[in-house]
Amino acid sequence: MNMEHLFKVFFLRFARSRMANRWAKRYGLRLGASRFVAGETIEQAVEAVRLLNNSGRMATLDYLGEFVSSEAEVREAAAMCIRTLDAIHTADIQANLSLKLTSLGLDLNPALCQELMESIVSTASDYGLFVRIDMEDYSHCQPAIDLLRILRQSYSNVGIVIQAYLYRSEEDVKVLGAEQVNLRFVKGAYQESAQVAFPLKEDVDANMIKLIGMHLISGSYTAIATHDEQMILEAQRIIANEAIPVSQYEFQMLYGICEELQLRLVRDEFRVRVYVPFGVDWFGYFMRRLAERPANIWFVLKNFFK
C-alpha cells in the first residue's frame, strides 16, 4: 500500500467522523475549505454562481449536509433545498440543484424522504429547473435508483449520478438509458470494496468512457463530470464520431478545481456546469476533495499556519 493510498483511506474515514464534522460546523469555513466551498449562506452561493455565469459557465447548487439524526433536521434540509430553488428562480441565474438523499432522511425514514423529494422536484418543475440526485456510497445506490424511478413516474426534471467504479453501473446505464434518464457520469468518490468496485484506476477510467459512450449513443442527456483531460478528449472523440448534438451533453467540474480547463472548454463552445457546494456542513465534502488529490494537503497546511 503506497502513501497516496494511505492518505486517501485516512481522508475518507475522517470525512465520516461525526466529531470532526461537528467541530467544522461550529467554527465555520477553515483550513482553506473556501477554495472548494462557495460560502455558508444561499446569498454567498448565488453570488458565486453569478460570477460563473458571467464567464459562460452554468452551475448546480448543492446545500451541504452530511449527517442527519432527526426528522427536524431532515425537514430543515428539505426546506433549504426549496429555498435554494426559490433563490435560483428569483436571482434568475443559470443553475439547477444537486442533493444527497441521506440528508433528506433516506436512512431515517424512507417514506418521508420520498414525500420531501416529491415536493422538491415538484417545486423545481414549476420553476422549469432540474434536480440531480448525487450518488453516495454503495449501500445507498439501489435505494436511490428505486426512488428516482418512482419520481420519474410523475416528473421528467430529475436525474441521477452513475459511478464508473461500480461493477453494477453498466447494467444501470442500460436500464436508465432505455428510459432516457439524464445521467451524470463520475469516477466515484467513496471507499468501496473490490467486491463491488474496480480497485484499479485504469479499469475505472476504461469503464467511465465505455458508459459515457453507451449513454450518448442511446440519445439520452449526458453530463460528463470529470477533470481528467484524457477522459474529456475521449468523450469529445465519441461526440464528434457519432455527431452527438451539443444540446445532448455538458461537461461538469467541481467549484475551485481546474478553473483553466473549465474556461478553455467554454472558449471551445462546450457547455460547462460547475458544481457549487455551500453551507455550514462543509467538512465531509472537503475531506473527499483531499482524498481525491492528497497533494491538496500542502494547501491545507499553508492555510493552517497562516
Based on CB atoms, which residue is closest to ligand FDA, 71 or 171?
A: 171
C-alpha distances in angstroms, 179 versus 34, 45, 145, 153, 184? Answer: 38, 33, 12, 11, 15
Strands (E), 72-192: 95-99, 131-133, 158-163, 183-186
Catalytic residue (one of 62, 134, 172, 281): 134
Based on CB atoms, which residue is closest to ligand FDA, 115 or 228?
A: 228
Based on CB atoms, which residue is closest to ligand FDA, 177 or 188?
A: 188
Is 100 among the annotated ligand-binding positions?
yes
Binding mask 283-302 for ligand FDA (x = CB under 6 A): ------x--xx--x------
What are the helix (H) ranges across the chain?
3-15, 18-27, 42-54, 71-91, 110-127, 141-152, 169-178, 201-217, 229-241, 259-267, 283-292, 297-304
Of positions 84, 163, 182, 207, contacts ligand FDA by CB under 6 A: 163
| Pair 12, 191: CB distance under 8 Å | yes
Binding mask 238-257 for ligand FDA (x = CB under 6 A): --------------xxx--x
275 binds ligand FDA (CB under 6 A): yes
189 binds ligand FDA (CB under 6 A): yes
- Write out the three cell numbers for 79: 426546506
Q: Any catalytic annotation for residue 132?
A: no
Is 289 among the annotated ligand-binding positions?
yes
Q: Which of 130, 127, 172 is nearest to 151 (CA)?
A: 130
| Pair 246, 221: CB distance under 8 Å | no
Residues of the binding site for substrate: 100, 288-289
**Catalytic residue positions?**
134, 184
Chain residues that interact with ligand FDA, rule: CB under 6 A: 134-135, 161, 163, 186-190, 225-228, 252-254, 257-258, 275, 289, 292-293, 296
